[in-house]
C-alpha cells in the first residue's frame, strides 16, 4: 500500500497521469490471478507471453538481521508464491530480488534450490549477488538477483546446443545449492550481468577511512571516487530545498553527540562517514542511520539519494514517516535496477 501510494503520487506529479488511469492491482500476490491481470493490460499481451514479471518478495525471513524463519515465515512464503505466479503466468522473462541470506544458510539454499527446480521445466535461470557499491552507488548493499528466460525463447535465440548447455549448468547449480556447504556460485553464471569497471570490487579496492571522533573535520583522502562518497553525493547544498529533506525523526538521544563518525559496528545508531559510502539502508523500527556530522538521523531525502533515487521524485505528505523510510529502504537502488533492466533488454533484443 505504501509503495502504491508513492507510485501514484510520482506519476501524477511528474507526468500528469491521473492515478485512476494507472492499471494497478492493489492487493496481495496471494490473491492475484491471470484473469485479473488480463482485464487490466493491453489486449493479447498476457496470452502471447510477451511480458516479464519483476519483483522482490519481502525478505526479512531470509535476512541474517532477522529471525531466519525462512520459507515458514509469513514473508518467506511469499517468495514461493512469487515463483508459483511465474509458472502460472508464463512470462517471457522474470527477475526476482532477495537478500543474500537466501544463499548463506543451508536451509534457505535448499529452499531456493526447490524453487529453481520448479522453474526449471520451462525456464533457464541465473543467480548472482550484486553490490550497489560496484555500480557507482554510495551504499554497501548486497542483494541476490535471479533472472530467468523461457526455454522456448532461449532455443530461438541461441539454438539447441546452447539451451542444452545452460540446462546442464542450471542442474549443477541446483545440486550445489542442495549441499550442506555451498561453494562459490559464480562458476554457474551464463547470463551477461552488468559490470561497471570503474567501481568493481569498490569495497576492497580503495583506501577507505574508518572512524573519526564526532565533531572533527576529517580531510578528504586522495584516490577515492567522488560518486561513492556520501558527502559529495548526498550532503550537497542543493539538498536543503528539496522535498522530503525535512522529513526526519525528531527523537533525540545522547548518542547523537557521542558516536564516532564512521562507526557502523553497532546494530543500531550507525553513523556514516562523510568520506565513505553508506552501510546498507534497511530501516525498520525507525532505526535510521545517523548523519556524519549533525546530531540527528538521516532525512528521507538523504536516504533517497543513498538509494540513487533522482531528485525529481518525492514521497507524498499523506505517508507516515515510518512508511516513507521503509518504502525507500526496501527498494532496489534505481541505478542498479536500470543496469539490470538494460542487461535483460540487451539479451532479449
Segment 188-201, tens digit of pLDDT: 999 999 999 999 99
For 225-257, what is each residue's pLDDT tens digit? 999 999 999 999 999 999 999 999 988 899 999
Give the pairing of strands 123-131 and 142-150: antiparallel
Question: Hey, where are the domains in the chain?
Answer: 13-194+334-348, 206-333
CA 287 to each of CA 121, 252, 284, 290, 298: distance values in angstroms, whole numbers, following the listed order: 43, 12, 6, 9, 10
Quote the pTM value.
Answer: 0.90
Q: Which residue has the cell 519481502?
A: 58
Identify the architecture of domain 13-194+334-348 in CATH: 3-Layer(aba) Sandwich (3.40)
Among 282, 289, 229, 209, smallest CA distance to 255 is for 289
CA dist 293 and 257 (Å) reads 9
CATH code of domain 206-333: 3.90.120
- Sequence-ordered alpha helix ranges (H) in the chain: 2-15, 34-40, 76-89, 106-119, 151-158, 160-178, 202-205, 230-233, 300-306, 321-329, 334-348
Q: Do domains 13-194+334-348 and 206-333 have the same CATH topology?
A: no
Tell me the pLDDT of the chain (349 aa) as tens digits: 565 666 666 656 655 556 666 667 677 778 877 777 777 666 566 667 788 999 988 765 556 555 555 566 666 688 899 999 999 989 999 999 999 989 988 999 999 999 999 999 999 999 999 999 999 999 999 999 999 999 999 999 999 999 999 999 999 999 999 998 877 899 999 999 999 999 999 999 999 999 999 999 999 999 999 999 999 999 999 999 999 999 999 888 999 999 999 999 998 899 999 999 999 998 876 789 999 999 999 999 999 999 999 999 999 999 999 999 999 999 999 999 999 999 999 999 8
Q: Grid coordinates standing for 293?
A: 556530522
Catalytic residue numbers read: 59
CA separation for the pair 349, 345 (Å, rounded): 6
Amino acid at each position: 500500500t505504501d509503495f502504491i501510494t508513492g507510485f501514484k503520487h510520482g506519476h501524477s506529479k511528474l507526468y500528469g497521469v491521473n492515478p485512476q488511469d494507472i492499471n494497478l492491482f492493489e492487493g496481495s500476490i496471494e490473491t492475484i490471478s491471470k484473469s485479473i491481470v488480463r482485464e487490466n493490460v493491453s489486449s493479447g499481451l498476457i496470452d502471447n507471453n510477451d511480458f516479464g514479471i519483476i519483483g522482490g518478495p519481502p525478505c526479512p525471513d531470509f535476512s541474517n538481521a532477522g529471525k531466519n524463519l525462512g520459507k515458514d515465515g509469513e514473508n518467506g512464503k511469499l517468495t514461493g508464491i512469487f515463483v508459483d505466479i511465474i509458472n502460472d503466468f508464463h512470462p517471457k522473462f522474470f527477475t526476482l530480488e532477495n537478500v543474500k541470506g537466501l544463499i548463506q544458510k543451508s536451509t534457505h539454499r535448499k529452499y531456493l534450490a526447490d524453487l529453481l527446480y520448479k522453474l526449471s521445466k520451462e525456464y533457464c535461470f541465473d543467480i548472482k549477488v550484486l553490490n550497489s557499491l560496484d555500480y557507482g552507488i554510495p551504499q554497501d548493499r548486497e542483494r541476490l538477483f535471479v533472472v530467468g528466460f523461457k526455454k522456448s525463447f532461449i532455443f530461438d535465440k541461441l539454438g539447441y546446443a546452447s539451451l542444452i548447455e545452460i540446462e546442464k549448468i542450471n542442474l549443477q547449480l541446483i545440486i550445489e545449492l542442495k549441499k550442506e556447504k555451498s561453494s562459490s556460485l559464480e562458476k554457474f553464471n551464463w547470463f551477461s550481468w552488468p559490470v561497471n569497471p570503474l567501481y568493481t570490487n569498490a569495497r576492497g579496492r580503495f583506501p577507505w577511512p574508518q572512524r573519526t571522533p564526532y565533531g572533527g573535520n576529517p580531510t578528504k583522502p586522495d584516490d577515492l571516487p567522488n560518486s561513492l562518497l556520501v558527502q559529495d553525493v548526498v550532503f550537497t547544498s542543493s539538498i536543503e530545498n528539496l522535498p522530503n529533506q525535512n522529513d526526519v525523526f525528531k527523537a533525540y538521544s545522547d548518542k547523537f553527540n557521542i558516536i564516532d563518525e564512521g562507526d557502523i559496528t553497532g546494530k543500531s545508531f550507525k553513523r556514516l562517514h562523510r568520506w565513505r559510502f553508506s552501510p546498507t539502508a534497511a530501516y525498520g523500527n525507525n532505526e535510521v542511520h545517523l548523519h556524519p556530522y549533525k546530531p540527528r538521523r538521516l532525512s528521507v531525502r538523504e536516504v533517497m539519494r543513498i538509494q540513487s533515487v533522482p531528485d525529481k521524485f518525492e514521497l507524498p505528505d499523506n505517508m507516515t514517516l515510518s512508511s516513507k523510510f521503509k518504502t525507500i529502504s526496501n527498494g532496489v537502488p534505481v541505478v542498479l535496477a536500470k543496469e539490470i533492466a538494460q542487461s535483460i533488454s540487451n539479451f532479449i533484443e
